[in-house]
Amino acid sequence: MDAHRQLERRLTTADATAIGLGSMLGAGVFVVFGPAAALAGTLLPAAVAIAGAVAYCNAVASAALAARYPTSGGTYVYGRKQLGEWAGFLAGWGFVTGKTASCAAMALTFGSYVGGGYAIPVAVAAVVALTGVNLLGITRTALLTRILLGVVLAVLAFVAVAAVAGPHPAAAASPDIAGGAAGVLPAAGLMFFAFAGYARIATLGEEVKNPARTIPRAILAALAGAFAIYLLLAVLLLNHLSAGRLAASSTPLLDAVLASGLAGGAPIVQAGAAAACLGALLALITGVGRTGLAMARAGDLPRFLAKVSGKRTVPVAAELSVAAVVILLLLTSDVMTVVGFSSFGVLVYYAVANAAAFTLPAHPRYAPWWLNAVGVVACVGLALTLPPAPVLAMVAVLAAGAAGRWLVLRRRR
């Protein structure tokens, strides 16, 4: 095995787009509308639009940077190249810790849908199985992602038809909640969590064919598709269930189908939720492993994580390490509480991405410098609207990582 062996470019534009869209249409689409509606009420579409606008700023910054630095690691690499080692470390550490917790959340959501009282064992089995798929090579990962994405899109189309067809008894019987302008930004912060999957395309930069052309196209196509789907669902669910019923629901898409009198459609929605969880989990494990690989290559994580082995050129050590940590979280923690924690880490990650893109000597037409500046301000602003507890927890994790890096650098000197 060669610790610095390069990954092979196997992914097409369609593969990369499917991975990004599959990441965004994960478990979030089946649960995020409820808590977002509780904050924004009937202004939920405005929250979706704001989250989508912030996501666009981040997406074009990531696309411009990924085209310039087509290697594994995403914003960790971009921050190091454009802003310095500490900025890169902040982005990479926030991504790895936040998204590792998200992997556990996705796995537990899957286990809850299909495992009932055996949710944790089923979740662990899912992590093991999907890690095995990743170890078979990135083309196997892309193929399974496309299959799962097809299932999810079919289920979302079924939910949309049910919401349009009606009847709408729940909307007539349920009073709207207060909600309003004050809750739009916090709701946008929650909705942003569901948009963040396009980062997976950038982290796979070393495995994409013709990255300067493929990565921007794949990122923008995936984001456009996710935005259209989220906005359409927000409007349909509000009309079908009302803001009050939607805010009280932990399974809004399932409730939308049941409110239409299609009780037999419940298994279809549950199958779609399971497929979405698996697709998002597969992409998350892949992305976190590649960022860990990049950090290990630079010495910010243990060097053995940089090893690439096998004829399929997979970062085996990084993939297995991510899976081990996720399984540990599943066995010891209630990881569903880390959504805010992960959202804060992702917003820090993209604040660094926008700042790095701002410093590029030349800007593509789709990513002007002023849009990068707007992205930095928007990421920081949304991060500050999140609940205090996850913000303080993530700040503590970032500080602990920075202290550890400082000690390691001091010992090396």
Q: Which residue has the higher pLDDT, 199 or 35?
A: 35
CA-CA distances (angstroms) from residue 137 to 3, 71, 207, 316? 17, 17, 11, 10
Inside any domain, residue 2: no
Look at residue 397 and tell me if it is in a domain: yes
Residue 334 has pLDDT above 80, yes or no: no
* H helices present in 83-183, as ranges: 85-115, 119-135, 138-165, 169-173
Report helix, strand or coil for 177: coil
Local confidence band at 194 (pLDDT 50, 70, 90 cut-offs): confident
pLDDT band at residue 3, thresholds of 50, 70 and 90?
very low
Residue written as token pair 């509606």: 37
In a domain, 4, yes or no: no
Per-residue pLDDT tens digits for 264-275: 788 888 888 888
- Cα 208 to Cα 37: distance, rounded to the nearest angstrom: 38
Ranges 25-29, 150-154, 247-251, 331-335, most confident: 150-154
Residue 155 has pLDDT above 80, yes or no: yes
Residue-wise pLDDT for 347-359, tens only, equals 898 999 999 999 9
When divided into structural domains, the chain yields a total of 1
- Residue 206: pLDDT band (50, 70, 90) is low
Reported as a pLDDT band with limits 50, 70 and 90, residue 2 is very low
pLDDT range class, residue 138, cuts 50, 70, 90: low
**103, 322 Cβ separation under 8 angstroms:** yes
41 or 335: which carries more pLDDT confidence?
41
* Residue 210, number of CB atoms within 10 A of its CB: 13
Domain that holds residue 247: 13-412
Whether 281 and 127 have beta carbons less than 8 Å apart is answered as yes
pLDDT digits (tens, 9 = 90+) for 8-22: 676 777 777 877 787
CB 291 within 8 A of CB 74: yes
- Asked if residue 167 has a cis previous peptide bond (ω within 30° of 0), the answer is yes
Check pLDDT > 80 for residue 373. Answer: yes
Q: State the CATH number of the domain containing residue 170.
A: 1.20.1740.10
Q: Determine, yes or no, domain membership for 306.
A: yes
Q: Mean pLDDT score of the chain, rounded to an integer?
A: 81
Give mean pLDDT, residues 151-180: 72
Q: Report if residue 151 sits inside a domain.
A: yes
Cα 294 to Cα 6: distance, rounded to the nearest angstrom? 11
Q: Is residue 3 part of a domain?
A: no
Domain membership flag for residue 1? no
Decide if 256 is inside a domain.
yes
